[in-house]
Chain A
Amino acid sequence: DAGVTQSPTHLIKTRGQQVTLRCSPKSGHDTVSWYQQALGQGPQFIFQYYEEEERQRGNFPDRFSGHQFPNYSSELNVNALLLGDSALYLCASSRGPTGTGGREQYFGPGTRLTVT
């Protein structure tokens, strides 16, 4: 049974560039959430996708956008990268959105983004 997978593992970008991160949920899961984790901090919620729509969003600017595909996989896009966007980006999947009982979330290994 495959767990949550993310790609790439590491990424280095320059300020102002754009980046796309990818996530495949755990088998049987249909909901994907994205989190940003700065060094020494807990994960901060970015947004959640269910049925190919953004269902919830945290306190992140519009530079952060996403997409969910019919096979439940998801992408996180960040435009106009800032130095402060350097972090570990985590994808978590669940069976159903967190607002309706799908609250046991399983995390992927993350993508380490460094912005120089």
Chain B
Amino acid sequence: GESVGLHLPTLSVQEGDNSIINCAYSNSASDYFIWYKQESGKGPQFIIDIRSNMDKRQGQRVTVLLNKTVKHLSLQIAATQPGDSAVYFCAENDGYSTLTFGKGTMLLVSP
């Protein structure tokens, strides 16, 4: 859904489904990207990163895809579990400034 004011885009999935969370970044000079997971009342937790010389990187149950042509990043979570429910942020860095965070997407996983 659209992000309006304080309302986060929300993705609702069933347990066991695959989830895809998307992120558009703004700085064409960015060459390093990180996905963070933030549970309620906690700080962001590092999930996976990717450098601009790659277009795909896999971790445990997660895959990040990078399309530099359209400045788009996605996080794929395989076999989504209720414990994956959280807000997910992408962050970008150009090697000179600090991390810039996107707006975030809330993932809701139903048993």
Identify the A interface with B (CB < 8 A): 4, 33, 39-45, 48, 56, 58, 90, 92, 98-99, 101, 103-110, 112
Q: Does B42 contact A (CB under 8 A)?
A: yes
Known contacts A103-B32, A103-B95: does B6 contact A39 (CB below 8 Å)?
Answer: yes
**Interface size in chain B (residues, C-beta < 8 A):** 26
Known contacts A39-B6, A42-B101, A103-B32: does B44 contact A90 (CB below 8 Å)?
Answer: yes
Q: Measured between alpha carbons, how far is A4 from B97 in the docked complex, in Å?
A: 22
- Which residue of A39, A58, A110 is within 8 Å of B98 (Cβ)? A58
Contact check, A103 vs B97: say whether CB atoms are below 8 A apart. no
Contact check, A41 vs B103: say whether CB atoms are below 8 A apart. yes
Contact check, B49 vs A107: say whether CB atoms are below 8 A apart. no
